[in-house]
Structure 1
Amino acid sequence: MVKYTDDFKVLVVREYLSGTIGYNRLAKKHGIKSKKQIIDWVNAYKLFGVEGLFRKTKHTNYPVQFKLDVLSFMKRTGASQTVTALHFKLTNPSMIRDWEKKFLEGGVEALDTPKGRLAMSNKAKNVEKTQKSSHQDELTREQKLERENELLRLEVAYLKKLRAFQMEPDAYLEKHRQHYHSNSKKNSD
């Protein structure tokens, strides 16, 4: 995947917003593979300002329930990843695709795994894997059951929200709109 500099994104967005050139010609002019990339940048710029185009220096960990809410919204409304990301004030729509893939492959538990990698040598990685597997073995039966219960609670909450939306979509969206906006403000602080 091509990484574009923040300055380049700002330049392209401002050129589009000047109104002299459309998405397709702009993509061709700057050698950008798809006009969709420019559309995403323009939408992020309109919603978040210049900061919406900048790469995040701090990784945000979203709670599993928030991820489920995002996936549920996208499924219920049929919204695209881009529209869903804008609705939840997320600057990276591809993150939703990753969440969806994890959920389909491993269920709710897969959404609970942190993204990213640790910077360490191979030897340190092997030591850490050994420690991690021994730690998993050390979990008591009770701890395993508690973890399973928590994941099942999350899944039930997800299904309840999905059912509530299916019964009355407009009422559900209005009720939760303010909740989502207040959560996104907390995450950005």
Structure 2
Amino acid sequence: MAKYSEAFKLQVVQEYLDGPLGYSALAKKHAIPDAATVRKWVTFFQEFGLEGLKRKRKKTVYPVQFKVDVLHFMKETGASYSETAIAFGMNNPSLIANWNRAFQENGIKGLKPKQKGRPPMSRKPRKQPGKQAKSTSLSQEELERENELLRLEIAYLKKLKAFRENPDTFLEKHKQQWHTHSKKKDSN
């Protein structure tokens, strides 16, 4: 979409107001792709004067409630985007079209301002200690428990093997351990 200077817009609008040419003829004469552009310039000039033809250099941030009011007005009255923009003193009807689309897709959340740009980087990357420490300690606890179970299983299998190979020696050995432990307990 071509950007036109304020002087050029004013010239085209004056030609329309002073002369016999219509929107389409002026659009062809000045190589403007669409007659609706000329009609928009004329309408905004008639409503707002020279301010209606100026491009705004500063971005106006509209509150969510204002956007809702504009869309509600447009729905209730059946006004077009251009008529609604004029009613609310705006010279950019496409902004209202964007609000309407965002509202249709996302509801009120679509009308809220969005944060621009990338989030700032901190000097050191953030680590999430709660999540990482918790998962590390949990997995470490699980591994320790598994190791303990494996040690018990190995000890059990060794004793079982020793018992199967020579049951008398195994029982004699454990009887001696039992007597020494019981004597220690009795002496206290």
TM-score (norm 1): 0.60
Change in CA separation of 1:114 and 1:60 when aligned onto 2, cut-off 3 Å: farther
- What is the match of residue 17 of structure 2? 17
CA apart distance, 1:130: 6.5
> What do you get for the CA RMSD once the two structures are aligned?
1.8
1:74 equivalent in structure 2: 74
Counterpart Cα distance in 2 of 1:51 and 1:79: 22
Give the whole-Å Cα distance in 2 for the aligned partners of 1:73 and 1:129: 39
Q: Which residue of 1 aligns with 2:65?
A: 65
1:126-179 CA-to-partner distances (Å, cap 9, x unmatched) read xx1768xxxxxxxxxxxxxxxxxxxxxxxxxxxxxxxxxxxxxxxxxxxxxxxx
Query: Quick check: which has more Rg, 1 or 2?
Result: 2
1:113 alignment counterpart: 113
Aligned to 2:84: 84
SS in 1 for 2:60: coil
Letter in 2 for 1:82: S
CA distance in 2, matches of 1:111, 1:50: 30
Please tell me whether the aligned partners of residues 44 and 86 of structure 1 are also in contact (alpha carbons under 8 angstroms).
yes
The alpha-carbon distance between structure 1 residues 106 and 3, as it changes in their structure 2 partners (threshold 3 A), is same
List per-residue Cα deviations over 1:33-68 (Å, max 9, x = no partner).
211111111111111111110100111111111111
Structure 2 residue identity aligned to 1:107: G
Question: Are 1:50 and 2:13 counterparts?
Answer: no
- Please give the per-residue CA displacement for 1:70-127, whole angstroms capped at 9, x wherever unaligned: 1111111111111111111111111100101111111111111159x65xxxxxx3xx
Q: Where does the alignment leave 5 or more consecutive residues of structure 2 unmatched?
A: 123-188
Question: What amino acid sits opposite 2:79 in the alignment?
Answer: A
Distance 1:10 1:109, change over 3 A: same
**Residues in 2 aligned to 1:34 and 1:114: alpha-carbon distance in whole angstroms:** 32
**Amino acid of the residue matched to residue 64 of structure 2?**
V
Greater relative contact order (Cα < 8 A, sep 6+)? 1
Q: Distance in 1 between matches of 2:8 and 2:86?
A: 21
Gaps of 5+ in 1: 119-124, 132-189
User: What are the superposed Cα offsets for residues 22-42 of structure 1, whole Å, 9 maximum, x if unpaired?
Assistant: 111001111112111111111
The percentage of aligned residue pairs carrying the same residue is 48
Q: How does 1:99-110 map to 2 (within 5 A)?
A: 99-110=99-110
Structure 1 pair 40–109 and aligned structure 2 pair: CA distance change class (3 A): same
Deviating above 6 A after TM superposition, structure 1's stretches of 4 or more consecutive aligned residues are none
Partner of 2:183: none
Give the letter aligned to residue 40 of structure 1: K
| CA gap 1:71/1:5 in 2 versus in 1, 3 angstroms | same
Q: Distance in 1 between matches of 2:66 and 2:19?
A: 37
Corresponding residue number in structure 1 for 2:32: 32
Q: 1:74 to 1:2 in 2, by over 3 A?
A: same
Structure 2 length-normalised TM: 0.60
